Amino acid sequence: MNVSAWIKRAFRRRGRFDPTVGAEHIRSTRVRRFSELDTGACRKLYELNEPGRFPSGYVDEFLRTLKSPLHLNLVVEAHGEVAAVGGICRTPESASGCSLVFGMVHPNHHKQGLGTTLLLARLAALSRPPGVWWTFLSSAGDSSTFFRRFGFQHYGQYPLPPDMEVFDCYRCYLEESDWEACAEILAQRDVHFDRTGIDVPLGTAIPNKSLERTRD
């Protein structure tokens, strides 16, 4: 990292999304909307990522999310094969909120920039921010290290049904200039992502919101 980039990052306001993190590792790929034909490949991605990332028995919830009209799911293709998948939706609890769900990369492609590509593409799919976008996610595994690099910060814990498994909750805010940078960086790195006709839908409200708590 050069000195000017380091200074810029050092003085960014706390919790703001930084789209430049890891941009140099992004390589030419194709991002597109999930298709029913991708179901088998995406289930395999889940099974490969499940140990240490997802609680046992959540594969059915993942498959429901893939097919739900309440989520936009994107896949990243590498060499013509699905190498990453992840979803996003707008949050009913906040007009300026969105939630990232079930993002994962094939283990053979870890640390090759595909996770960054998937993250930037999902945020680029949002409409122009109404001031800022507040971006939320929950994690029961070790993916938090990845997201913290971009500015996500822990703000609480949340038990999710059916087994009330405790997930750590993270959030950051995305300003208009950073939202624009998401698409610009992808284009500069030769990532093919046609956003024409793509819309991020409104998801469902989080059940039992009152159960959310700060970390013990």
- The rounded distance, in Å, linking the Cα atoms of 138 and 204 is 15
Domain 15-195: give its CATH code: 3.40.630.30
CB 69 within 8 A of CB 89: no
Asked whether the predicted pLDDT for residue 7 surpasses 50, the reply is: no
Domain ranges of the chain: 15-195
Asked whether residue 214 carries a pLDDT value surpassing 70, the answer given is no
Cα distance between residue 26 and residue 191, in whole Å: 8
| pLDDT per position as a tens digit, 28-63 | 999 999 999 999 999 999 999 998 788 888 899 999
The pLDDT assigned to 10 comes to: 43
Please give the pLDDT value at position 5: 52
Burial of 166 (0-12, 13-18, 19+ CB in 10 A): middle
Instruction: Write down the pLDDT at residue 96.
Output: 95
